[in-house]
A and B are shown apart, each in its own frame.
Chain A
Amino acid sequence: GAGVSQTPSNKVTEKGKYVELRCDPISGHTALYWYRQSLGQGPEFLIYFQGTGAADDSGLPNDRFFAVRPEGSVSTLKIQRTERGDSAVYLCASSLTVGVLETQYFGPGTRLLVL
């Protein structure tokens, strides 16, 4: 079956612009996670959803970042007034359900560059 997909694969934008990053999880997976990976660093947790609701958004760096999952499947990460420091690879993962020993399946990521 299809894995986690993310679009676009690359996004170049200018400082101050608004961007949306999309994640399509594996069908039937109720848990969805967003991470951000800066160059040379490990991923950093942003937010995770259980169904339609954001169960933990404590990793979002500030109120310019927002994520939704209105129908409990596809999720969109939205970044307002982008800054150069937002440049990173944004990773999405999904798991069948939420659990500490649930395997997370990662998408290929969206590489965001803010000029």
Chain B
Amino acid sequence: KNEVEQSPQNLTAQEGEFITINCSYSVGISALHWLQQHPGGGIVSLFMLSSGKKKHGRLIATINIQEKHSSLHITASHPRDSAVYICAASGAGSYQLTFGKGTKLSVIP
């Protein structure tokens, strides 16, 4: 079974700071997902990637398949970025997602 670990568990940043959230997984995957969960439970898919790097606005996701590691970066952070960020991996040949526990981000004005 794939184990998905995220760090840090909690992160507090000042508005404008560059933020990095890390995700590592234990076995080979077919895709890595980054999700955002706001208070109240709503989950939004941010990225899916199987290699390289993707960018959307101020968000950047990278993955290193050899090192079984992915990072989510937020540039010029803003209080509205405050949420829980979750990474999830789908195993090779499986559509089942294994989730990390999430990183709670608080951006202070």
Residues of A within 8 A of B (CB): 31, 33, 35, 37, 40-45, 48, 55-56, 58-59, 89, 91, 93, 98-106, 108-109, 111
Contact = CB atoms under 8 A, between A and B. Distances in A.
A44 B95 contact: no
B100 A100 contact: no
Contacts of B42: 106, 108-109
B98 A45 contact: yes
Of the listed residues A33, A48, A101, the one surrounded by the most CB atoms of chain B closer than 10 A to its CB is A101
A48 B96 contact: yes
Contact of A41 (B41, B88, B101): B101
Contacts, number: 66
B96 A43 contact: no
Contacts of A105: 45
Contacts of A108: 40-42
Contacts of B98: 45
B30 interface: yes
Interface string B16-54: 000000000000001101010000111111001010000
Contacts of B90: 100
Contacts of A98: 95
B94 interface: yes
27 contacts: A35-B97, A35-B99, A40-B101, A41-B102, A42-B88, A42-B100, A43-B43, A43-B88, A43-B99, A44-B99, A45-B96, A48-B95, A56-B94, A56-B95, A59-B96, A98-B95, A100-B30, A100-B48, A100-B95, A102-B48, A104-B33, A104-B97, A106-B35, A106-B43, A108-B41, A108-B42, A109-B41
